[in-house]
Amino acid sequence: MGANAIAAANATFSQLRTLYPGRTDTRLRAMLGIAPMLGPNDVAPEVFTLSHARQALDFARQNQVGRPAFWLMARPELPRWRATVAVTCRGSTRQPFDFT
């Protein structure tokens, strides 16, 4: 999943290059944001882990990405009775602030 976030960022960067041909790569990367969904994602069995978060953050730092973020960090734990991820549940057993 970390590689997927990086691939999506690179694809978006390529699109920005097309949209803004006169801007430098540094300026375009400053316009870029990465915001993966933490924990289980909408497509099973995809899970964005702490390891993936480190990959994405390392990429963002190395490439001067303007807005590294994570989507729905504050979702509560996935209830035991619920088998799928919902916007209100993060579906992760991580402790608070593990991704920070």
pLDDT at residue number 91? 53
Dihedral pair phi/psi, residue 76, rounded to 5°: -75, 170
**pTM for the whole structure:** 0.70
Q: What residue numbers bound the domain in which 42 lies?
A: 1-100
CA distances in angstroms from 48 to 7, 19, 25, 29, 92, listed in the order given = 14, 30, 28, 23, 9
What sections of 1-100 are H helices per DSSP?
A: 2-19, 25-31, 50-62
Beta bridge partners, 48, equal 39
* Span 87-96, average pLDDT: 55
State the total domains in the chain: 1
